[in-house]
Amino acid sequence: DGGITQSPKYLFRKEGQNVTLSCEQNLNHDAMYWYRQDPGQGLRLIYYSQIVNDFQKGDIAEGYSVSREKKESFPLTVTSAQKNPTAFYLCASSIVGPTDTQYFGPGTRLTVL
Amino acid sequence: GENVEQHPSTLSVQEGDSAVIKCTYSDSASNYFPWYKQELGKRPQLIIDIRSNVGEKKDQRIAVTLNKTAKHFSLHITETQPEDSAVYFCAAPTGAAGNKLTFGGGTRVLVKP
C-alpha cells in the first residue's frame, strides 16, 4: 500500500468554492489517475496522465481540472462548476499505462456543505 | 459506448461455498482484465489479472476465466472465508488504443460464517 499518498483524508467545502486534492507517489511511475467513487457505484475515471505535462480527460471530467508539473505529483481541483462534488476521490498510479497494475492511494472524502 | 457490466451487484454466500462474479465488456480490442478487491474503509488492491492470450489463470483460491468470443470474464473464489467479504471490481481497457481503464460497478460479497 505504501508509495502513494493523498491528503487530506477528509475535506469540507462550502458551495461555490474550489478545492484542491493532493496526490503524491514515490514509486517512479509514469502514469497517474483520478477516480471518483460514489456509494454503491464503481470507480469512474476523472482524468489521467501518462507523462509529465500531459493529461487526458476521463469519463467524468466536467467540473474538474488537473496538472502534472512533476512526475510524482498529480493534484486534482474540484471547481464550483462540479454540480455534485460530494464523493470519495481515489488517486492511483501505474508504471506506464492502464494495462499495468494500478496502486491506489487511501482516498479523500470530500463533503460539500 | 464502451462500458463494463458487472453482475451480481451483491452476493451472499455461506463460508466454504464458492462465489462467481461475471463481467462483460464491449470493446473487442480489450486485452487486459484485472480484478480489484476493496475491503471496507480501505483502498482497492489488485488480486488477479488475465491477458487475452490465455483463457484461465489461478492463484490459490481465486481464478479468472476469459471468453473473448463472448466478451466476458469471470472471477471465481473457492472455499470462501470471512476475510473474502469485500467489494470486488472488474475492469477492462477502453478508449483510443486502450489508454484508459473502465471499471465495472462492483460486487459486494458477504461471506456468512
pLDDT at residue B54 is higher than 90: no
Phi-psi region of B101 (alpha: psi -120 to 50; beta: other; left: phi over 0): beta
The answer on pLDDT for A1 being more than 60 is: no
Shortest Cα–Cα distance, B67 to chain A (Å): 18
- Substitution target from A1, A9, A99, A103 for chain B, most B beta carbons within 10 A: A99
Say if B93 is an interface residue toward chain A (CB within 8 Å).
Answer: yes
Question: Mutate which of B3, B21, B100 to test chain A, going by most A C-beta atoms within 10 A?
Answer: B100
The secondary structure of chain B, three-state, reads CCCEEEECCEEEEECCCCEEEEEEECCCCCCEEEEEEECCCCCCEEEEEEECCCCEEEECCEEEEEECCCCEEEEEECCCCHHHCEEEEEEEEECHHHCEEEECCCEEEEEEC
Substitution target in A43, A48, A93, A103 with the highest count of B β-carbons within 10 Å is A43
pLDDT, tens digit (0-9, with 9 covering 90-100), for A92-105 = 999 998 889 999 99
Contact at CB, A45 and B106, closer than 8 angstroms: no
Judged against a pLDDT cut of 80, whether residue A12 lies above it is answered with: yes
Predicted pLDDT at A24? 97
- Binding-site residues on chain A for chain B (CB distance < 8 A): 1, 33, 35, 40-45, 48, 50, 56, 58-59, 90, 97-99, 101-102, 104-107
Confidence (pLDDT) at B41? 87
Band of residue A64 on the pLDDT scale cut at 50, 70, 90: very high
Q: Which of B46, B93, B105 sits opposite A101 (nearest CB)?
A: B46
pLDDT in the model for residue B60: 96
Q: Is the pLDDT of residue A2 over 70?
A: no
Using CA coordinates, name the residue in chain A closest to B90.
Answer: A42
Q: Report CB contact under 8 Å: A43, B89.
A: yes
B37 beta partners:
B45, B88
Cβ of B43 within 8 Å of Cβ of A44? The answer is: no
Q: Label residue B52 by pLDDT band (50, 70, 90).
A: confident
